Amino acid sequence: MRVVALVSGGIGDQILFFPTIDDIKRYYPNAQIDVVTEPRSKAAYRVSKSVSEVITFDFSDRNSLADWGNLVGTIRDREYDVAITFGQSWLIGLILWLTGIPTRIGFQGKGSGFLTHPIPLNKQQYAACMYHDLLKGMGINSPCPELTVNVPKSDIEWATNEQKRLGIKDSGYVLIYVTSKQSAQIRGTNNIYPIENWVHIIQDFQHKQPEMPIVVVAEPNDEVFIRSIKESIPNIKVMLAENIGKLTSMIAGANLMLSTENAPIHLSVAVQTYTIVLFGSTEPTTLLPQSDKFLAIKSPTGRLADIPATTVLEKLWGG
């Protein structure tokens, strides 16, 4: 069996789709599963254990008819048996119909008239389970499995060396993943928590748990943020998130991850690291599974910046 999944969206959407892909592989071990996703999201499949090939296509770009035609040709030439999409778009539905794939699965809505198996959309649940509902179109009605990832051995070895470099190999550590202003602007989001709040939280933690190192994850464009936090906390440890496999390995080794709503929270769920997540307007139950290991702090106003640092500390210390 040859299966193609059209998975638009960011890296977080791809990771949340992993249980769906993994269950196809569980029921059909010899299936070849390919994914069509945006160039910015291809990196997610470095830690997928079930995907054979990733085809890139920028769904959010202003594509010409020729671009869409090339996508149709690429998919048609591979002679897939099943196509799955979670986007509710009449254009995507039309594209899949034009490919001639016999089994076309997606959610009911715009474009579902082009599908052979439209599935009711239930947004009032964990997103990984919502995507997993699509497998009903393949006759798979089992519960959604836990989110898991497969990290390359080279990335695990890198993380071991990075822990030694930071001097945290034997002590354990707390990982903080922050969306800086620069990163948010690049991504077109406003998912920012004030730096002065982070400084307050880190300093309080260092005062109460001086033997537990804190590591801040930096992205390549976070120079201003890192410089600012180092001015307030000179001894803070910083690591660069070079790729998703290395980041996953570092998360797996952490005693705790504290993060705003970001794709790495799904990696933390996959490796079962105790996690506290700050949410703005998003409903936490859609992005975190029910578990005592994964705790949410929801903004009372819908703005991430309106979560008091004291509220985060109360959750951190079990208050």
Tens of pLDDT, residues 246-282: 999 999 999 999 999 999 999 999 999 999 999 999 9
Q: What is the pLDDT of residue 219?
A: 79
pLDDT band for 87, please (50, 70, 90 cuts).
Answer: confident
pLDDT band for 88, please (50, 70, 90 cuts).
Answer: confident
pLDDT digits (tens, 9 = 90+) for 194-216: 999 999 999 999 999 999 999 99
Structural domain spans, the chain: 2-138, 153-316
pLDDT band for 121, please (50, 70, 90 cuts).
Answer: very high
pLDDT band for 226, please (50, 70, 90 cuts).
Answer: confident
pLDDT band for 220, please (50, 70, 90 cuts).
Answer: confident
pLDDT band for 181, please (50, 70, 90 cuts).
Answer: low
Question: What integer is the mean pLDDT of 126-155?
Answer: 97
pLDDT band for 184, please (50, 70, 90 cuts).
Answer: low
* Percent share of the chain, pLDDT over 90: 83
Residue 308, pLDDT > 90, answer yes
Q: What is the token pair recorded at 318?
A: 């079990």
Q: What is the pLDDT of residue 192?
A: 84
Question: What integer is the mean pLDDT of 105-129?
Answer: 93
Please state which architecture CATH assigns to domain 2-138: 3-Layer(aba) Sandwich (3.40)
Question: What integer is the mean pLDDT of 79-87?
Answer: 94
Strands 174-177 and 2-6: unpaired
pLDDT digits (tens, 9 = 90+) for 148-164: 999 999 999 999 999 99
Domains 2-138 and 153-316 share a fold: yes
CA atoms within 13 A on the CB side of 209: 15
Q: What is the pLDDT of residue 183?
A: 54
Per-residue three-class SS string for the chain: CEEEEECCCCHHHHHHCHHHHHHHHHHCCCCEEEEEECHHHHHHHHHCCCCCEEEECCCCCCCCHHHHHHHHHHHHHCCCCEEEECCCCHHHHHHHHHHCCCEEEEECCCCHHHCCEEECCCCCCCHHHHHHHHHHHHCCCCCCCCCCCCCCHHHHHHHHHHHHHHCCCCCCCEEEECCCHHHHHHHCCCCCCCHHHHHHHHHHHHHHCCCCCEEEEECCCCHHHHHHHHHHCCCCEEEECCCHHHHHHHHHHCCEEEEECCCHHHHHHHHCCCEEEEECCCCHHHCCCCCCCEEEEECCCCCHHHCCHHHHHHHHCCC
pLDDT band for 60, please (50, 70, 90 cuts).
Answer: confident
Q: What is the token pair recorded at 26?
A: 């569980």
Whole-number average pLDDT of the chain: 93
CATH of domain 153-316: 3.40.50.2000
Residue 189, pLDDT > 90, answer no
Query: Assign residue 41 a region: left if phi > 0, alpha if psi is -120 to 50, beta otherwise?
Result: alpha
Report d(CA 310, CA 262) in Å as an integer: 21
Residue 85, pLDDT > 90, answer yes
